Chain A
């Protein structure tokens, strides 16, 4: 058997194409319900609990989620499930206590930066919005590549010779372009129906995608368990030196020392997830779109189920891929060789789709792929709408002296969707991730999350919170960018030059960003109180 062998056939392509055509028609149809900006961005705040839960699930179980979770399952095996446990416990706490989300929904804002202006000042709103968009677009930067890598791996797509010849003859371009073309195609598809229908088309397609990807996930799990078997999953630990204790900083499945999770990594992820689950804009936009504060709280409580599934099941697939490539030694060697090849698009993310391509039968593989494309689109559309809505409502509109009409706001939002989309395409093509995909997302998310937590939590629960404190907290979040792979190397190079005698890692730098923002917020608020508090 060859590494790129797949059960994906013309029938599967037909199923996938049919699904995509349906999605386009939904986008066109939903356009007729767009009346005003509230309808476009938060579906007029009409969502009830079941629909909100389905669309939240559609958004939060993205193909990128499946890819990074399965990658963690492949690289860190069972130990990576500590993230699933964290998400379950944090959502349970928020759902039972209503911490932050209840009060935030009561403010009736459409976006988090809108709350900044309500509580602090217009300047805080604009700065907060800029930080949110920068962090969000960086965070989305690798979604396209992960999605395209899934499609290439599962379909066994190989670049046709005529295309290679054409690129060389016309542009003197010698790199493979297949992956890039698939990325572009996926992006254009999502842009099309998000630009047209806004949140309404996102909600409708999310509901369809919730069903398709939910069924797909259950089906895939059945095949993975059937292929590897209960004994095979046990042998990951007993015979293949699998990693199962996340408190151990050394991953026994690799030869490299101290490349596991450990207490510092676990703490950093707990902090990131605690803030992200409440205040990550895409999820928060769902919370702000529901009918009432009570529904917002219920939404978080019920979200414990899909959030557990979105982590646990793909991790199981990744562990299944680890067992499969360990048992099928020749294939495992081919995979290692493909990953080591210079300029290769194959990395640890590809292990899961390459595995699925061999165990899921023709026909069903098309349905599963449609489900995964559904997952890709449902996350992408929500994220695009979220960031572009913030640009319109919280950057462009506050900077204008003459208020924008609703139609102008919708127009600006649509332009912003297209601009962000193409920025993502170029970032995805250019940036080579030097850590695993989840770590990249946690680090880029920190740029926003470190600042938003003190500003929102302080604003809701601490009377002495001030605008100066908010500015310092938001700016402090920028230090989170130091946790990106190339920046960590630079920081450690600097530390070596000054003879510091120690090095730092990305988890430590992420926690530092949260600490800097929190300290800046408290010190700034106490030192420079807002005038209304003084009076």
Chain B
């Protein structure tokens, strides 16, 4: 197997395992974060156009 084919094999295997890991690691956390986001948006009243900017980058 050439160096190129070794590199491509590593990339393909890493891509496959990475996708499985992402599905397992992110999904449940993302669902709870979505609930928090929707809760925040539900409590937020319509404001001026710069409102989003003003609340961003909280420490």
Contacts and interface: CB of A to CB of B under 8 A. Distances in A.
Contacts of A214: 19, 22-23
Interface string A15-45: 0000000000000000001011111011111
Interface string B27-59: 101110110111011101111110111011111
Contact of B30 (A39, A53, A291): A53
Interface of B: 2, 4-5, 7-8, 11-12, 14-16, 18-23, 26-27, 29-31, 33-34, 36-38, 40-42, 44-49, 51-53, 55-59
A311 interface: yes
**Main secondary structure on chain B at its contact with chain A?**
helix
B46 A207 contact: no
**Main secondary structure on chain A at its contact with chain B?**
helix
B33 A292 contact: no
A291 B49 contact: no
- B11, B30, B33, B59: residue with the most chain A Cβ atoms closer than 10 Å: B30
Interface string A190-209: 00000000001001100100
B40 A44 contact: yes
B37 A203 contact: yes
A247 to B, nearest CB: 9
B49 A37 contact: yes
A306 B5 contact: no
B57 A293 contact: yes
Interface in A42-60: 42-51, 53-54, 57
Contacts of A404: 49
A36 B8 contact: no
Interface stretch (A77-85, A130-138, A263-271, A507-515): A77-85
A312 B55 contact: no
Contact of B8 (A54, A57, A78): A78
Contacts of B2: 244-245
Given A45-B55, A53-B30, A36 B46 contact: yes
Contacts of A221: 16
A273 B21 CA distance: 25
A293 B59 CA distance: 10
Contacts of A306: 18-19, 22
Contact of B41 (A44, A53, A292, A406): A44
A495 interface: no
Interface of A: 33, 35-39, 41-51, 53-54, 57, 78-79, 81, 84-85, 88, 105-106, 108-110, 200, 203-204, 207, 210-211, 214-215, 217-218, 221, 237, 244-245, 291-293, 305-306, 308-309, 311-313, 315-316, 403-404, 406, 409
A203 B34 contact: yes
B30 A106 contact: no
Contacts of B26: 50, 53-54, 57, 210
Nearest to B31: A207
B56 to A, nearest CB: 5
A237 B4 CA distance: 11
Nearest to B50: A38
A39 B44 contact: yes
Contact of B51 (A36, A47, A292): A36
B27 A54 contact: yes
B19 A313 contact: yes
A207 B34 contact: yes
Given A48-B36, A218-B20, A309-B19, A291 B41 contact: no
A490 B57 CA distance: 49
Given A44-B40, A306-B22, A108 B57 contact: yes
Given A36-B46, A214-B23, A308 B14 contact: yes
Given A50-B26, A305-B19, A81 B11 contact: yes
- B11, B19, B33: residue with the most chain A Cβ atoms closer than 10 Å: B19
Closest 10 CB pairs of A and B: A38-B52, A312-B15, A50-B29, A305-B18, A51-B33, A309-B19, A108-B53, A54-B30, A35-B46, A50-B30
B27 A313 contact: no
Contacts of A308: 11, 14-15, 18
Contacts of A47: 33, 37
